[in-house]
Amino acid sequence: MGTASSMLTQYDIEEVQEHCDNLFSQQEIVSLYQRFCQLDRNAKGFISSDEFLSVPEFAMNPLSQRLLKMVDGINFKDFVAFLSAFSAKATAQHKIELIFKVYDSDRNGKVSFNDIVEVLKDLSGSFMSDEQRERVLSQVLKEAGYTKDSSLTLDDFIKVLGQSELKMDVEIPVD
Amino acid sequence: MMRKTNPKSQSTELELDQPNIEDYLPSGHTIHQEPHGKLRLCDLLDISPTLSEAAGAIVDDSFLRCFKSIRSEPWNWNVYLFPLWCFGVVIRYLILFPARVLLLSFGWMIFLSAFIPVHLLLKRDNSVRKNIERCLVEMICGFFVASWTGVVKYHGPRPSMRPKQVFVANHTSMIDFIILEQMTAFAVIMQKHPGWVGLLQNTILESVGCIWFNRTEAKDREIVARKLREHVQGADNNPLLIFPEGTCVNNHYSVMFKKGAFELGCTVCPVAIKYNKIFVDAFWNSRKQSFTKHLLQLMTSWAVVCDVWYLEPQNQKPGETSIEFAERVREIISQRAGLKMVPWDGYLKYSRPSPKLREGKQRNFVESVLRRLEEK
């Protein structure tokens, strides 16, 4: 695709569609491209952290810094691939994989007790003390049959989160 | 025994400063209903609501929508219409544009030949000088409007010059000021601009009593508030026109009004401006084009069509805070001009949202977790 031009060819759309496993329709990809171009202010072909943070709704999200690590400098293909986890057609496993990636910040395939506490810190801010967070987490871990030292793998996540309906769908506005 | 911290800490001043954002965000955003039942590991690990909100904001958000130039469907796409459009381009660029430039230059010559002598010869507080300058400014604005063939329909009674009143209007482009100024010589409060606009600000606009502000200066708000108060007290000053949004919005939405104009203890007269995009989109996207380019775009289009409504003056109701007053006036203007209201501060175009907004979400999360921990 090269540098971001203002028009997508049919080939480009199909390539992107394949890259995201057909989780988005061609219309949705065109819409996403318009959005990508709106966020990518000077048409560099990728979106920087600063440009993501110019969306106030995103900047005020507690997990924005974590997500920025995953999307900083993202090009359009990867942008669509990232958002494909939020498609209604995505499987629960796909969604849980994304959640796992958010927790597993050091990408070692395991989520430790501390990794979860770090995410809790983002979500709770100054309204909970470190001690409270660790206490709550230890308690629910114990009840689920894990210990403070156990590292959770993706399979553990699938087991724990796969039981209930994950409501993680975002609709792409198509005009 | 664990000491439970009370998540309901004192409301910050900023929260009282803003209407509740959750009221405005579409219901799709509050995806999670109040969770209940004993807290389990899956509840703690499930960050899908927060992730969905983040992804939702990445895909579409109500703030950037306000500053998007909404392009209308191109109509010149078939064999018959395209040559017609080309013919129109020739007329607009080669006939209309030069004629308009001539007209504008003519207007400037008259204006300067009258303004400069009056400005230099008569003393500052001379009321004759003030009146002449007022008329001259109205005249040059009239020339400006004619130079883009402005077709402006004014509705409602013409504003009267009374003390203790301010005018507020929604803001789409700097030409808003020119359109209103050609009817009545207002004193306006403006962002200090560089270049030729700055020069105009320093010389001509100064004579009608304009007030400058600088968004980037932190203490600016207090200085400006003081200047505003001084101005409205003065009996002989031109009526003050304020654009409380603080930035140009695309004429389909309205962002939050700053409360400065509403705490002066004056009557507030709302003015609604709606542009018809039939020939040109008058939204000045200051990110995308300079004001000069914007003016040139207007001068090479057929016409700028807009409606101006002078609405019923409003007073602060007893027991109403300035912010509620501002929101009420914003609703009156938005309804009249067909604008959708969004809960964002226009200055977020230039700066990041305050951390207090995030704290609201964090507090809700902690409340929910601690409550469910206690449930059996």
B24 contact residues in A (CB cutoff 8 A): none
Structure-block tokens of residue A10: 């049919």
Is A53 inside any structural domain?
Answer: yes
Q: Is residue A129 part of a domain?
A: yes
Residues of B in contact with A126 (CB under 8 A): 359, 362
pLDDT digits (tens, 9 = 90+) for B177-220: 899 988 888 888 887 778 887 888 777 787 788 888 777 776 77
Joined together, the tokens standing for residue B117 give 């002598």
Distance from CA of B26 to the nearest CA of A (A): 13
Does residue B162 or residue B58 have the better pLDDT? B58
Q: Is the pLDDT of residue B254 over 50?
A: yes
Among residues B52, B66, B51, which one has the least CA distance to residue B285? B66
What backbone phi and psi angles, to 5 degrees, belong to B167? -110, 135
Residue the block writes with tokens 């219409």: B81
One domain for residues A16 and A82: yes
Domain closes at, from A34, A67, A89 = A89
Which one of A41, A74, A89 terminates a domain?
A: A89
Both A80 and A96 in one domain: the answer is: no
Residues A52 and A116 grouped into a single domain: no
Section B154-164 average pLDDT: 82
B33: confidence class by pLDDT, cuts 50, 70, 90: low
Task: Tell me, yes or no, whether A127 lies in a domain.
Answer: yes
Check pLDDT > 80 for residue A121: yes
- Would A23 be classed as within a structural domain? yes
* Domain co-membership, A29 together with A66: yes
Q: How many CB pairs under 8 A join A and B?
A: 159
**Same domain membership, residue A39 and residue A16:** yes
The structure tokens 């002989």 sit at: B236
Tell me: pLDDT of B332 over 90.
yes
Per-residue pLDDT at B3: 37
Instruction: Specify the number of domains making up chain A.
Output: 2
Q: What's the CATH code of the domain at A78?
A: 1.10.238.10
CA B8 to chain centre: 34
List the single residue in A with minimal CA-CA distance to B362. A124
- Residue B96 to residue B92: CA distance in whole angstroms: 5
| Statement to judge: residues A137 and A153 lie in one domain | yes
If asked whether residues A55 and A110 sit together in one domain, one would say no
Amino acid letter, residue B250: N
Residues A23, A83 within the same domain: yes
Whether B10 contacts B355, CB under 8 Å: no
Q: Tell me, yes or no, whether A83 and A97 share the same domain.
A: no
Share of chain B above pLDDT 90, in %: 26
* Residue A174, domain member (yes or no): no
Task: Kindly state whether residue A173 falls inside one of the protein's structural domains.
Answer: no
- Rounded CA-CA distance B214/B219 in Å is 10
Chain B residue closest to A169 (CA)?
B52
Identify whether residues A104 and A131 lie together within a single domain: yes
Residues A84 and A25 occupy one common structural domain: yes
The ipTM is 0.92
Domain encompassing residue A103: 91-166
- A16 and A77 together in one domain: yes
From A89, A123, A158, give the residue that closes a domain: A89
A45 is a domain residue: yes
How high is the pLDDT of residue B29?
Answer: 41
Q: What is the pTM of this model?
A: 0.78
Q: Is residue A117 part of a domain?
A: yes
Q: What is the DSSP string of A116-168?
A: HHHHHHHHHGGGS-HHHHHHHHHHHHHHTT--TTPPB-HHHHHHHHTTSPP--
